[in-house]
Structure 1
Amino acid sequence: MSRMSSLRSRLLLTYLLVAGLVLALLAGSLFVFLVANPISVRQAYQRLELVGRVLAARENRAMLEQGPRRMRQMISRLDLPAGRILIVGPRGDVISDSEAEQPLPPAGTLQAALTGLATRFEYEAGGQVYLMSATPLESGGAVILVQPRPGIRLATLLGDDLGRPFLQAGIVALALSVVLAWLIAGWVAGPLRRLALAARRVAHGDYEVPATVSGPAEIQGLAAAFGEMVERVRAGQQAQRDFVANVSHELKTPLTSIQGFAQAIRDGAVGDSEGARRAGRIIYDESERLRKLVEDLLDLARLDAGQMDLAREPVDLPRLIAGVLERLSLAAGESGVGLEADVPPLPPVIGDGDRLAQVFTNLVANAVQHSPRGSPVVVRGYPQDSWVTITVEDSGPGIPPEELGRIFERFYQVDKARSGGAGRGTGLGLAISREIVQAHGGRLLAESVVGQGSRFSVQLPTEASRATTAVRRKARL
């Protein structure tokens, strides 16, 4: 990467271009002014005015009126460059002229000089530009001095009492601009370089990088976003490691059982038909658990990728809940747990009936699994504003507060004693259920009191609320 492609170099170049452009505009404006009003012209006018005041004195006026020869002697003595002196009467008549053979200044210019409207004039005659200065006389009329307009040279402009200080100030301003541009560019680009170094460290697996940098507010915001990204990447990496470890553990247990009983059958260690049936049943149960685990993993992968196709049709929740309880009634009866429903007619919701049935099946099955014998699992439903809420309540041991916030994590199981035992789950059911409910625009919440039981609430938007939301979106568009 070339040095000029860096942000600092580009910022520095930009600041210098702006500073140079401003100085160029100021220099151009001053140049135009100095060309129009060069110091040589200003000095010529000042000298003409000074000589005019001297000649207008009473003692010198008499000599001027003695004729052109005496006037030319006066010009030579005063060192006027190719100068000309005119004495003009009050009515505009030329009393004396040191260069009588030359054309007179324009009549309008002479008249303006006599009226005193101005004292400095410039006119052109014979292709030459002349400067003219008028000094009024006490008796009326005026002493008029004329000389050719001096030429303009670059050295004269640079030596001007206005141009020289400006040139010096411009050099100082340009030097200061370079220093300030370098400092500002470093102030802006420095934090970005540190963020780039931190990003390279993250790319190599080092997530312990400081993301706090100084600088403008925008760069601080970028640093904060970078720090948040690093935290999420770190959490994602940890979740991936945990996921691999949990999947390995969940696969290892049933595979070990299947392998052990299969080897026993192969080696003839199962002597009678009852033992063979028992081994076959265990192999079947463990393979069914593996199938369920694979299906859950596929569901999670589809949900994470947003590729799970959900039907969008009206769902009759009371009827769906009744079907779920009917399917689970046999397992609940074997566990000595009763199933009760208090679900009145509810507004329909839009969603995938099979996936919502999967959610409620998982919640009711978990409640049955954790409920003591002789206790009921109660399913209730009620409308609330533009939502429909279905709750599943049990009378189990409850969930400790420190673990309540983690129950929706993948592979997390509150009852560690059940992990690896009969009737154990994969620890994915609640995670999948929450993803499905959220895909329907709803919420899955959990409440629990240790020793009293737990309640899971599924909140889903009604069909009418979705229609209202769609109308509002169209109105905003």
Structure 2
Amino acid sequence: MFRSLQSRLFLTYLLVTVLVLTVIGLLLIYFLLQAPNPIGQQIEYRRLDFWISQFSSREARGLLALPPNRLPEVMERVDQMVKARTLLVGADGEVLGDSRPEEEPLSLDILTKVAASKTDTRGLFRYTPVDRWLYVSSPLGDQRWMILIAPQPTLRALGLLGNELLRTLLVAGSVALLFSIILAWLIAHWVTAPLRRMVGASKAVAAGKYDQQLPLTGPEEVQSLAAAFNEMVRRVQTSRQAQRDFVANVSHELKTPLTSIQGFAQAILDGTAQKPEDQQHAARVIYDESNRLRRLVEDLLDLARIDTGQVAFERHPVDLGALLRSVVERLSVRAEEVGVRIESRLPDFPPIVGDGDRLAQVFTNLIDNAVKHSSEGGVVNLMGERDGGWISIHFDDAGPGIPPEELSRIFERFYQLDKARPGGRGRGVGLGLAISREIVQAHGGRLVAQSAVGRGSRFTVQLPIIRPDDSTLVRSHS
């Protein structure tokens, strides 16, 4: 019955309200029962005044003439007649007779106050913090005073609990309970409304509707939950779009070389390419496109392994200077073929711990890209520096530069720069920079790009100096 959050909140609020109303009602009844009744108090004073005036005016001589051994008996008869504790007090507050000697004795302050008075007195006193008592006194003569004591009238004494008071409390409690039920339902509905919206939005996302956004309303915790949900939906939408783009890009990148391979193979088979030079050209195209397919598959496998954490990066000392010189030497011949020169100014780097083969893959990709986008006669510069605990290696090209709107996307998978821009030669698939960044991040470093249109580009690899005795490589995500 109470499985939903709204019903449980409603029940909780209702139980708290009932508990509070019950406690308040009981406390109110208790204090009202103990509260004095002013009208009853005046009536009781008049009653005691009447009786004590009767004794002081008509029975004073008889009381004064009683021997001490008869005083208790007479005080008890007066008590039964008057229905009040009766005391006879002498000089200095000495109690000569008491109708209820077993009860708490009257305080000495009251006794001395009465004994010092020459007229009738009245007042209030307490035996306990709860019980209140009225007293009246009158002088009898011969330094004797009579005191009558009766409990102070309260609402309990008038029997109001069973009548007007009880009815009033029940009506007030019922009205308060009714309003609390309505208020508890409204509050529970208000608190759970964002959650219901979130449930509806979640179902919509599960159905493929990724345009769901929750309003940031309600308590702070609900707003934080809604903001987290909106961010989750945004990331899911981005991920789904990236997945669709990935499938489309892979399909395109696979289809293009396969079409070339199929076309030239068909030309050889059907005899269209009969001349030796035509057959050699067809074989060269098939060979190049096959290599491009192989590189594409290898890059895809690398990305898949990196994403799933299945790439086991080696951990051994790496001489960055020697590694860079080796890569430069290997790529210099290819660069010279297209009229580009590679120059390097590298200091002596301290050895670091890393995967030399993977770092060589990064450096190869960056230098190869710089050569591709440098115009004939251009220079690709490699520079290195050490800054504190970091090593920075800069790869500068003399190409046309990258527009700002494209610079922010060059590390996206399958993203390729505008084909129409000048300076480019050769065509990749847009995975090299994405893989390079993942490898650098796996070494705890950063790969950043800077460019200005018409002035070339700079790619910088920043690597932390990890000593050989440090822990294994830790992969970090940007």
Q: TM bucket by the smaller chain?
A: 0.7 to 0.9
Match of residue 406, structure 1, among 406, 409, 423: 409
CA spacing shift, 1:121–1:250, aligned 2, 3 Å: closer
Distance 2:398 2:358 in 1: 26
Aligned to 1:20: 18
Q: CA deviation at 1:347?
A: 2.2
Contact 2:56 2:139 in 1 (8 A): no
CA spacing shift, 1:318–1:50, aligned 2, 3 Å: same
Aligned to 1:105: 100
1:199 is aligned with what amino acid? S
Q: How does 1:122-137 map to 2 (within 5 A)?
A: 134-137=135-138
Match of residue 279, structure 2, among 276, 279, 282: 276
Aligned to 1:326: 329
Question: Does residue 1:444 correspond to 2:447, yes or no?
Answer: yes
Contact 2:353 2:467 in 1 (8 A): no
User: Which deviates the most, 110-119 or 243-252?
Assistant: 110-119
CA spacing shift, 1:246–1:135, aligned 2, 3 Å: same
Q: CA deviation at 1:189?
A: 1.3
Q: How does 1:275-424 map to 2 (within 5 A)?
A: 275-417=278-420, 423-424=426-427
1:297 is aligned with what amino acid? L
Distance 1:337 1:410 in 2: 27
CA spacing shift, 1:330–1:54, aligned 2, 3 Å: same
Aligned to 2:224: 221
Cα deviation per residue 1:181-219 (whole Å; 9 max; x = unaligned)? 233223321122122222222221222233223211221
Distance 1:159 1:81 in 2: 31
Contact 1:88 1:144 in 2 (8 A): no
Aligned to 2:139: 138
Contact 2:10 2:185 in 1 (8 A): yes
Aligned to 1:127: none
Q: TM-score, normalised by structure 1?
A: 0.79
Q: How does 1:431-470 map to 2 (within 5 A)?
A: 431-463=434-466
Distance 2:449 2:466 in 1: 24
CA spacing shift, 1:358–1:135, aligned 2, 3 Å: same
CA spacing shift, 1:322–1:232, aligned 2, 3 Å: same
Question: Does residue 1:427 correspond to 2:435, yes or no?
Answer: no
Contact 1:387 1:462 in 2 (8 A): yes
Q: CA deviation at 1:155?
A: 7.3
Match of residue 5, structure 2, among 4, 7, 27: 7
Q: CA deviation at 1:25?
A: 2.9
Distance 1:29 1:453 in 2: 85
Q: How does 1:51-70 map to 2 (within 5 A)?
A: 51-57=47-53, 61-63=56-58
| Aligned partner of residue 141 in structure 1, secondary structure | strand
Q: CA deviation at 1:150?
A: 11
User: Which deviates the most, 267-276 or 225-234?
Assistant: 267-276
2:24 is aligned with what amino acid? L
Aligned to 1:71: none
CA spacing shift, 1:386–1:466, aligned 2, 3 Å: farther
Structure 1 spans left out of the alignment, 5+ residues: 69-79, 95-102, 124-129, 471-477
Distance 2:359 2:158 in 1: 90
Q: CA deviation at 1:5?
A: 2.2
Distance 1:81 1:457 in 2: 113
Q: How does 1:159-308 map to 2 (within 5 A)?
A: 159=163, 167-308=170-311
Distance 2:170 2:362 in 1: 82
Q: CA deviation at 1:389?
A: 0.7
Distance 2:198 2:248 in 1: 33
Q: TM-score, normalised by structure 2?
A: 0.79
Contact 1:338 1:377 in 2 (8 A): yes
1:157 is aligned with what amino acid? L
2:138 is aligned with what amino acid? L
Distance 2:401 2:127 in 1: 107
Q: CA deviation at 1:355?
A: 0.9
Contact 1:114 1:136 in 2 (8 A): no
Structure 2 spans left out of the alignment, 5+ residues: 64-79, 115-122, 474-478
Q: What RMSD in Å do the two structures reach over aligned CA positions?
A: 3.9
Q: CA deviation at 1:46?
A: 6.1
Aligned to 2:83: 83
